[in-house]
Amino acid sequence: MNYKMNNQNEIPKLGYGVFKMENNDSSKNSILNALEAGYRHIDTAAIYGNEEQVGRAIKESGLKREEIFVTTKLWNEDMRQETEWDAINKSLELLQLDYVDLYLIHWPVKDKYINAYKKLEEMLEKGLSKNIGVSNFQINHLKELEEKTKIVPVVNQIELHPYLTQKELLNYCKEKNIIVEAWSPLGATKNDLLQNEVLKDIGKKYNKSVAQVMLRWDIENGVLPLPKSANKGRIEENFQIFDFSLSKEEIQLVDNLNKNERVGANPDTFTF
Ligand code: A2P
């Protein structure tokens, strides 16, 4: 149920994503549902505005701190303003935690992400985060990071789903021993992936839903999916992906669905 990262630390193979969840009780309850369903990995970010609810849910769950893997992310504006230390301290305060398990650079902000990452290296040293990594980095960003900083990021979190398989970047990360995490692993319902006939056929064979096939395909490819759902039934459904596997041919069939089609911003042209 865990991947081993390049620093030998472990990370649960599936995470619960909380993007777009509001800062209210209903979100806290969804997170509690996820913890109850078995998720032990929560992926938030300062910009999501819901770290407070993640913290409350963890407290209310009664689980021990070390049983839950918590990721949050440094927002772009904090890189531009060079307020990285304030940013992590604010996140920790909202999360009611002494440390996060993983702190990520949210987007490769031009001319800023190298210095920001150097600060993450210091945060790691100080124990504010147990691991550090990046998000939305392309190969050129990773190469620059390798040249100019010391610690290899443990993960790169990117948009990845069957219509955007990211083979080149995925292979590059594998070569460098960087785990790829998938955001919008279901296509965020902005495309027709959930109605895709190839995925439906594979699902029928295993009595699994299209969503479960997509998430299992991630696992087969060594990718760490971060599905989001506010619905208790679908939260549970998305966790039930460890009791079946896909054949080589089926993995290839899903790989072949690639259209290089994004549902979110492009890391080379984002404007926020
Ligand atoms: P809901 O919260 O109503 O379950 P992604 O993780 O790719 O960004 O996708 C998130 C979207 O997919 C949400 O709108 C969520 O809606 C929906 N979703 C999550 N899990 C499933 C599932 N198992 N089947 C269908 N839709 C799902």
Q: What is the pLDDT of residues 54-88, one digit of tens each?
A: 999 999 999 999 999 999 999 999 999 999 999 99
Q: Which of 34, 28, 140, 128 is nearest to 88 (CA)?
A: 128
2 lines ligand 1 (CB under 6 A): no
Q: Which of 45, 40, 92, 93 is nearest to 71 (CA)?
A: 45
Return the structure tokens found at 228: 């989001």
Which of 54, 73, 72 is closest to 63 using CA atoms? 54
Looking at ligand 1, which residue's alpha carbon is closest to its atom 4?
229
Of all protein residues, the one whose alpha carbon is nearest to atom 15 of ligand 1 is 229
| Cβ–ligand 1 contact at 234 (below 6 Å) | yes
Grade residue 206 by pLDDT with cuts at 50, 70 and 90. Answer: very high
- Give the closest residue (by CA) to ligand 1 atom 25: 211
Q: Any idea of the CA torsion for 54, 55, 56, 61, to the nearest 10 degrees?
A: 80
Q: Quote the pLDDT of residue 26.
A: 95
List active site positions: 48
Instruction: Give the confidence band of 146 by pLDDT, cuts at 50, 70, 90.
Output: very high
Q: How close is the Cα of 4 to the center of ligand 1, in Å?
A: 27
Chain mean pLDDT for the chain: 97
Backbone dihedral angles phi then psi of residue 129, each to the nearest 5 degrees:
-135, 140
In this predicted model, what pLDDT tens digit does every residue of 76-128 receive, in sequence order? 999 999 999 999 999 999 999 999 999 999 999 999 999 999 999 999 999 99
Q: What is the pLDDT of residue 124?
A: 98
DSSP 3-state of 108: coil
Q: Above 90 in pLDDT, residue 191?
A: no
pLDDT at res. 190: 86
Instruction: Report how far apart, in Å, the C-alpha atoms of 190 and of each of 237, 257, 264 are.
Output: 20, 16, 9
Q: How far is the CA of 191 from the centre of ligand 1 (A)?
A: 12
Amino acid (one-letter) located at 8 = Q
The pLDDT tens digits of the residues spanning 225-261 come to: 999 999 999 999 999 999 999 999 999 999 999 999 9
- The amino acid present at 121, given as its one-letter code, is E
